[in-house]
Amino acid sequence: MDYFSEIIGQERVLAVLRRALATGAINHAYLFAGPAGTGKKTTALAFARALVLSTDPQGEIYLRENAHPDFMRVEKLEKKTLIGIEQINRDMEPWLALKPYRAFRRVVIINDAQFLSLPAANALLKTLEEPPSHAVIILVADEQILLETIVSRCQMIRFVPLAESSLRDFLLQRGVEGQRASHLARLAQGSLASVIQLAETEGLEEMWRTAWEVIQNLATGREIEVFKCAEEMEKNPVLMAGLLTALLRDIYVFQATGQKENLIADNNVPLYEQFKRLDIEKVKIALMKIDELSIQYRGPVRSLLLSINISYQLQDVLK
């Protein structure tokens, strides 16, 4: 059975995991790290299924109902901003210490591990230092800001942005028209989750127009435009942040190369030509900071504060 049939564009990752399953050389802890939307959670679940079902082939129905006694998922609770210590030392650790009930191993996935509170991270570290022999812990993180002592005790599995061609093929297989598939694949910037969201978003063209108006208004340097931008972003923060940064990248790329082929929205070239020459180093720094801020939309910081900060970053480059 191919447990990884739904994973696309991560051949190196799958080669490592398949080799581990084939040889039985399973580590006690893994860290699946990389950009958001690149298949980490899907791969972690597939790997966990393979580990459990390899010695409990009848356990599929229990996994499907999220009721297998040897599999657990830990993630942020609703209305919580961080994974709390009680989820580690009260829920996970006692469960992990028990011997497997049906399978050979007990497997736990900790999703969004970058949101472990410091007490929770320290509690997890104790388990990683002396794990039960039957335990496999899989941490999934969009960014590597975990304690170094935790990272050093895990086998790193690094995920990379998906190739544009892989995203385009994914959309084509689902009936998206060719030109639109190419456009969305480029806009998604290597994220399968983003390309799915873009394909399913109603009114995307209107959002594009709004993003373009926002970029033009920010370029005037008027401070009020920062707050207007943040207000627009709050309607769909992650998607709007992606559209705005895509436009900034386009302006930067067009000014640097003069070529349309590498642009996400090449129909905007006449508009890109209206902008003053941007400082390339400032653009690079702004894009990096905006990416870091965008990751925090699922974290403990208020969404509006992130949107205001992103708006200031954009205006500082454009004005």
The number of helix segments (H) and strand segments (E) in the chain equals: 16, 5
Task: Give the predicted TM-score (pTM) of the model.
Answer: 0.87
> Beta strands 135-141 and 29-33: pairing type?
parallel
Give domain limits for the chain: 11-158, 201-318
H or E segment to which residue 72 belongs: strand 71-74
Residues 33 and 29: their CA atoms lie apart, in Å, by: 13
The yes-or-no answer to whether 11-158 and 201-318 have a common fold is no
Query: In the prediction, which pLDDT does 144 show?
Result: 66
Q: What is the mean pLDDT of each successive set of 10 residues along the chain, which is 319 residues long?
A: 89 96 95 93 96 94 93 91 94 95 96 93 94 96 84 94 92 90 88 90 90 92 94 93 91 83 76 82 90 83 93 92
Q: Provide CATH code, domain 11-158.
A: 3.40.50.300
Which string of b and e fits 179-203 if b means at least 16 CB within 10 Å? eebbbbbbbbbbbbbbbbbbbeeee
Helix (H) or strand (E) holding 42: helix 40-53
CATH of domain 201-318: 1.20.272
* Cα–Cα distance for residue pair 176/168, rounded to 1 Å: 9
**DSSP state at residue 34:** S
DSSP, res 83: B
Phi-psi region of 78 (alpha: psi -120 to 50; beta: other; left: phi over 0): beta
